Amino acid sequence: MIKKHYLLLTILIFSTVLSAQPNCEAFKYYGDTTKCEACKKSMEISGHYQFSKEFQEILDESLAIDPTYDYAYRAKSVAYLKSGDFLTWKKLIDKAVEYNTIENLGYRGWCRYQFFRDYEGAIRDIEKLDSLVDYDIGYSANGDYHLNIAKALCYKALGQKKKAVEIIKKQLEVKVGLYDYLHLGVLYFELGDFDKAEEALDKQLKENKLTEAKYYLGLLSKELKEQEKALSYFREAKELYLKQYRLFDTYTHPYDKIYLEDIELEL
Amino acid sequence: MSACKTEEKVIEKPKYLRWVGDIEQDLTKDAKQFELCNTEAEAFQYFNTHKGFRYKGEKKALVETFNKKYRPLNGKKQNGWIRIRFIVNCKGEAGRFRVIQSNENYEEFEFDKKVVEQLLKITKSLKGWETLEHKGTAIDYYLYLIFKLEDGTIKEILP
C-alpha cells in the first residue's frame, strides 16, 4: 500500500507545473525585501502536489510574509480551478490580478473560458490586457491558443461569428497556431462560405492530422451534395478519431470538438 | 487597518484536508452502500491519469441525458454556476455528491431548489462513468460537473 501511495505522489509531483518560477533575488534588487522573503518561502512548494495541504500551507505562510505577493495567490488558485471550485478560485485569482494585473489578467481570462465557459468575462480580461500593454498578449496556459484566438472563440460563442472570423484572420497574419485554421474553417462553414471553409480546413490538415477538420470537410461535401466525397471524409475522420488524432484537453472539452457518435451518425 | 483586515480575510488559515476538493464521508447524507475500493489517501483527480473526462458515449451522451431530463425554470432569475463534485470508484459507481453554487459574478448564491434538486437527481442517476486505471490497478477518482445556467436553462456543462 505504501508503495502504491508513493507512486501516486510521484506522478503527481511531476504535474505541478506552474507559471514561470519567480526570481526572488530580483525583488531584493528592486528594494522589496519583504516580497523577496515571501518569494523564497513560496519556493518551498517544490516537490509538493498543487492540491496538497502542504502546498497550500506553504503559500499561506508566504502570504503571511507579504499579502500582496501575486504568485502565491495564483499558485494557490490552481487546485481550486482544477477541482471546479469557482468560488475560491475567483477570490484567489482576483487577488493575483489586483497585485500584478499585467502578469495575471490574460491567465484569468483564459481560465474563465477554459474551465467555466465565462465568455463575457474572458473577453473583458483579454481586451483589458490588450489595452494595458503594447506587446503581444501571449498564449493560453496550455499553450494551445493565442489569447486572441481564445477571444475569437468567446465572441463566436456569444453569436458574433463575423467578428470572430476577423479576429482569427488578423492573428493568422502574425502567427499560425495549432488549431486556428480549424476554428476558422468551422466558422466559415457555419456562415455558409463553403469555399473559404474548405480552404481553411485544408490548411489545418497541412498543419496536423485532425479528426475535426476531416469531419467538417465531410459536412461541407454533404452540403454540396457530393455524397461519395463526404462519406470518404467521414471514414477518414473516424480513422483519425480512433488513432487519437483529435482535439483533446486533459481537463476540459475543447471548443468545436467532435465525438465518435457525431461521425458514426454520418456513416 | 481596514486594508490589513481585508488581506487577513483572504489568507485566513483554513483547515485543509489531504487535497483541495477532498470529500469526507458523511453518512447522514451519503449512500451507505457507496464505498471506495482503495484508501482515501489513494483517491486521484479525474485528470491525473491524463485520459481526460471518461463517460460511456462521451460527454455528448451525458449532455443528451440532461437535455432530455432537465426541466428549465423559464423566466426566473437563475444565473451562474452550480458544481456537483463526487467520487467515482473503481467499479464506476459514483457517490459523496456535494454542491456549490455561485451567481454570474462568482459570488455565493442559492439557486431555486427545483434547479439544484433536478441537477443532483439526474447526476446521481448517471450510469456511464468509466473506470480509470493507474499501473494496472483500477482507481477511485474525484470528478465534478459544472452547470452554467442562464435564466434557469443549462447553457453549458463542464468539464
Tens-place pLDDT, residues B42-85: 999 999 999 999 999 999 999 999 999 999 987 678 999 999 99
What is the extent of the structural domain holding B119?
A: 23-158
Assigned domain for B102 exists: yes
Assigned domain for A210 exists: yes
Domain of A200, CATH number, reads 1.25.40.10
Assigned domain for A164 exists: yes
Question: d(Cα B119, Cα B104) in Å, to the nearest integer?
Answer: 18
For residues A235 and A265, the answer to whether their CB atoms sit within 8 Å is: no
Q: What is the pLDDT of residue B12?
A: 58
- Is B144 close to A64, i.e. CB distance below 8 A? no
Residues A139 and A185 in one domain: no
- Cβ atoms within 10 Å, residue B68: 8
B132-134 vs B94-102, strand pairing mode: unpaired
Q: Report DSSP letters for A84-131, one per residue.
A: T-HHHHHHHHHHHHHHSHHHHHHHHHHHHHHHH--HHHHHHHHHHHHH
Residue A218: which of A247, A178, A258 has the closest Cα?
A258
Specify which residues B83 forms β-bridges with: B100, B146
For residues B50 and B139, the answer to whether their CB atoms sit within 8 Å is: no
Residues A31 and A87 in one domain: yes
- Is A4 close to B137, i.e. CB distance below 8 A? yes
Residues A184 and A250 in one domain: yes
Of A99, A120, A136, the residue that ends a domain is A99
Q: What is the pLDDT of residue A5?
A: 52
Residues A77 and A136 in one domain: no
Q: What is the pLDDT of residue A3?
A: 46
| Total number of domains constituting chain B | 1
Assigned domain for B8 exists: no
Average pLDDT over residues B38-45: 97
Of A175, A190, A223, the residue that ends a domain is A175
> Which residue of chain B has the CA closest to A114?
B159
Q: What is the pLDDT of residue B10?
A: 55
Q: Please give the mean pLDDT across all residues of chain B.
A: 92
Q: What is the pLDDT of residue A16?
A: 44
On chain B, the residues whose CB falls within 8 A of the CB of A251 are 47, 52, 159
Assigned domain for A84 exists: yes
- Is B47 close to A250, i.e. CB distance below 8 A? yes
Q: Which residues lie closer than 8 Å to B28 by C-beta, 6 or more apart?
A: none
Residues A6 and A88 in one domain: yes
Q: For testing the chain B interface, which of A17, A87, A108, A142 should be mutated: the one with the most B CBs within 10 Å?
A: A87
Assigned domain for A15 exists: no
Interfacial A residues in 99-118 facing B (CB < 8 Å): 115-118
Q: For testing the chain B interface, which of A6, A113, A252, A262 should be mutated: the one with the most B CBs within 10 Å?
A: A252
B44-45 vs B141-150, strand pairing mode: parallel
Assigned domain for B69 exists: yes
Taking the Cβ of residue A250 and every Cβ of chain B, the question of whether any pair is shorter than 8 Å is answered with: yes
Assigned domain for B62 exists: yes
On chain B, the residues whose CB falls within 8 A of the CB of A68 are 7
Specify which residues A37 forms β-bridges with: none
Taking the Cβ of residue A194 and every Cβ of chain B, the question of whether any pair is shorter than 8 Å is answered with: no
Sign of CA dihedral B110, B114, B115, B119: positive
Assigned domain for B90 exists: yes
B17, B85, B156: residue with CB nearest A117: B156
Low-confidence stretches of chain A (pLDDT < 50) are 1-4, 6-7, 13-17
Interfacial B residues in 90-109 facing A (CB < 8 Å): 100, 102, 106-108
Residues A38 and A86 in one domain: yes
- ipTM at complex level: 0.93
Question: d(Cα A92, Cα B73) in Å, to the nearest integer?
Answer: 32
Q: Which residues lie closer than 8 Å to A47 by C-beta, 6 or more apart?
A: A13
What is the extent of the structural domain holding A152?
A: 108-175
Residues A93 and A123 in one domain: no
Assigned domain for B6 exists: no
Residues A117 and A161 in one domain: yes
Q: What is the pLDDT of residue A18?
A: 53
Taking the Cβ of residue A56 and every Cβ of chain B, the question of whether any pair is shorter than 8 Å is answered with: yes
Residues A197 and A260 in one domain: yes
| Total number of domains constituting chain A | 3
Give the least confident one: A11-20, B70-79, B115-124, B143-152. A11-20
Helix (H, G, I), strand (E, B) or coil at B158: strand
Assigned domain for B29 exists: yes
Q: Which three cell numbers stand for residue B81?
A: 454556476
Specify which residues B149 forms β-bridges with: B80, B154
Is the pTM of the predicted complex or chain greater than 0.80? yes
Taking the Cβ of residue B5 and every Cβ of chain A, the question of whether any pair is shorter than 8 Å is answered with: no
Of A99, A131, A148, the residue that ends a domain is A99
Q: What is the dihedral of CA A10, A75, B13, A97, to 10 degrees?
A: -170
On chain A, the residues whose CB falls within 8 A of the CB of B44 are 8
Assigned domain for A189 exists: yes
Assigned domain for A16 exists: no
Residues A28 and A64 in one domain: yes
Assigned domain for A254 exists: yes
Residues A81 and A129 in one domain: no
As to burial, measured by CB atoms within 10 angstroms (0-12 exposed, 13-18 middle, 19+ buried), residue A156 is buried
Residues A186 and A232 in one domain: yes
Domain of A68, CATH number, reads 1.25.40
Measure B4 CA to nearest chain A CA, in Å: 9
